[in-house]
Structure 1
């Protein structure tokens, strides 16, 4: 049993790691713009990208378990190791038990991700992105362009350099009723403060015009501090999304709390339950593909092809039913029926003698 587990664990981990790595790189590239636009630190970027893993593993691990299990059992079959084990008296159920244990362990890991780690990681990631975008950000200032903030503050920057250094600044401020202020400076520096981003102007002037009297005052300065209140009503309140709620919240909320999105909350909760079951189903399909037929190499590619097609169809059906469950709750019943049927049928094929040709009782001794 340990020998089969060792042979199957390596391919499962390898395929899962490769799939997760590819998707992780693609997803991480989406945050490059935030590093540039919001001056996000490398530590914050690294934290966000690491928090992607609990979201990716529940999707990639079932596929990795299927591919790794299929490869491991098929290699044991082609090397005639399964034939030797059968000759030693091991039944098909005994040969399938190590793969089922490994698949069960993978399902428990997927369940821990979907039930706890995934919503916790989603919440932490969105908190980090929200903080850098609305609190710690040095705002988005494009070189050679006028940047309007809340239609009351307009900033022009001729050149922007690393470290928040700005050159050739022009700021027009209409935030105070009855007054229009225009500031020009040779250079400036963007800083982060607890109340939001600030800009320090160096070597410039400040012109203020009273809109009611038309009087204009002019002030030359060596240093002037301007608070960049990007959000006049304060920092926006971040709403918690469905992906951030744990499974208990998804099933405990009522229509009064979420309104028309109640079906979506229920569908998300059942999705988190379905993914561990899908992992077990994939493991059993891979094992049944190898063990359900005779131990020969003739026609073996047909079973491989059929097993891959069945796994692909199951994956597509599960995703389709979950998507449909967002608007039609009856699809949830079909989802569990499909998963239970797949697991049960795979166990039926793995049972002793499934797929084996029966030898007639009056056959010669050599035929047996």
Structure 2
């Protein structure tokens, strides 16, 4: 089994025209590299003559070279994808736990079930991933390229003739995939998850929760029901209930029970009454029918008449709802906030690409010298932190002044262009001194 450096060199050497003692310069970079590889595999130089490679060898050799490049690209993508996924999961997990702790009070105060708690907590992920994935990608790229540089793998690839842009290609492919993922999250999945989460929390607070039934007071509900609860105890137990029902025209029903509890069914919430009676009055005849029961279910809508109407927030809008709007439908401040939210979502995929290029440029810039890479890594991390802070500050300021939306794009494009400039051929390399004069 060959070492990784030797295997890479065999796949690539040389991308320049090669000469052997039995042949002239082989035509073409691809043919030259593949003739060497084929010769190493067969321990001889098949097809290498003074006239070059026969035409019958061109297609299989090109296929072999393409396979070698695909193998190298996959190797570099896997080297960066692993650390990226690890850092992203760690950051997302930490923030997810801190955010989920906010819902503990709702479990206690609104009798929220654990299933609903985990469901709401899961809906936080589409909001967190667009923030943590760019940071995880930067750390993963920086670590992967630094490790390949420390293991001399990048040196071997450069010696084989690969340019800096060719070395950055696999990282750009991974960055493009992450940018598309972030765009899908911010454009559609994040607003959908945000809307679903707020709907669920509203339902538990004003529909499924017994907190709506105030203790010692008559609570009118929107469905022509009035509920009185003498005492609420832990676990959702209700004591001393009186329910007056006028939902059916021409009849009024009054139910009294010693105790009861809330039941959450698929068709809607119900109150299970225990040890009580049901009195039904017919308004036409004036007759009253009394029914005594041990258990009785009452379908009930716990949305009180004083419950607020849930208004959708800006974060619940999709990308179309943020840009394809009529300014006349909103006041000036609200319109600016909506536009700032839309530009913020467009900026996050660009930030993902900028972070990846900054990490790659940090390692590829200059000479492959282990002694100087540490300082470059610190500079790269500081630059990424400043870029993140600047983008965050500008997007916040754009909510009041739309001009800052333009500055966000200028800053991100400048970071991308600057990283590409640092990866150009010869960037950071020492200038050769004058040739020594002949004696």
In the alignment, the residues of structure 2 paired with residue 339 and residue 93 of structure 1 have an alpha-carbon distance, to the nearest angstrom, of 20
| Residues 107-118 of structure 1: pairs in structure 2 closer than 5 A | 107-118=179-190
> 1:139 aligned to 200, 210, 216, which one?
210
1:64 aligns with 2:136: yes
The alpha-carbon distance between structure 1 residues 357 and 125, as it changes in their structure 2 partners (threshold 3 A), is same
SS in 2 for 1:298: helix
Q: In structure 2, what is the equivalent of residue 321 of structure 1?
A: 394
Q: How does the TM-score come out when normalised to structure 1? A: 0.81
Residue number in structure 1 paired with 2:233: 159
Mean alpha-carbon deviation: is it higher for 249-258 or for 337-346?
249-258
Instruction: Specify the alignment match of 1:17 in structure 2.
Output: 89
Q: Describe how 1:1-368 pairs up with structure 2 within 5 A.
A: 1-135=73-207, 137-140=208-211, 149=219, 155-157=229-231, 159-161=233-235, 164=236, 166=237, 169-170=239-240, 186-192=258-264, 199-203=271-275, 231-233=303-305, 236-260=308-332, 261-362=334-435
Q: Tell me by how many angstroms 1:39 deviates.
A: 3.2
Uncovered stretches (5+) of structure 1, i.e. residues with no partner: 177-182, 207-218
Q: In 1, distance between residues paired with 2:117 and 2:149?
A: 46
In structure 2, the residue corresponding to 1:362 is in which secondary structure?
A: coil
Specify the SS of the correspondent of 1:140: helix
Give the gaps of 5 or more residues in structure 2.
1-72, 247-254, 279-289
Between the two structures, name the one with larger relative contact order (CA 8 Å, sep ≥ 6).
Answer: 1
1:120–1:244 CA contact under 8 A, matched in 2: yes
Distance 2:372 2:381 in 1: 15
Partners of 2:133 and 2:178 within 8 A in 1: yes
Preserved contact between residue 138 and residue 191 of structure 1 (Cα < 8 Å): no
> CA 1:238–1:299 in structure 2 vs 1: closer, same or farther (change >3 Å)?
same
In structure 1, the residue corresponding to 2:261 is in which secondary structure? strand
Q: Distance in 2 between matches of 1:9 and 1:37?
A: 42
Shift of 1:119: 1.3
Give the secondary structure class of the aligned counterpart of 1:320: helix
For the 8 Å contact 1:200–1:225, the answer to whether it is kept is: yes
Task: Give how far 1:17 is off.
Answer: 1.2
CA RMSD in angstroms, aligned pairs only: 3.3
3-state SS in 2 of match to 1:190: strand
Are the counterparts in 2 of residues 15 and 68 from structure 1 also a CA contact under 8 Å?
yes
> CA offsets, 1:210-266, max 9 Å, x none?
xxxxxxxxx996658788775453864322211111111101122332323000100
For 1:129 and 1:142, how far apart are their aligned partners in 2?
Answer: 17
- Mapped to 2, the partners of 1:98 and 1:7 lie a distance apart of 10
8 Å contact kept, 2:212–2:304: no
8 Å CA contact 2:219–2:304 kept in 1: the answer is no
Contact 2:213 2:227 in 1 (8 A): no
Q: Which has the larger radius of gyration?
A: 2
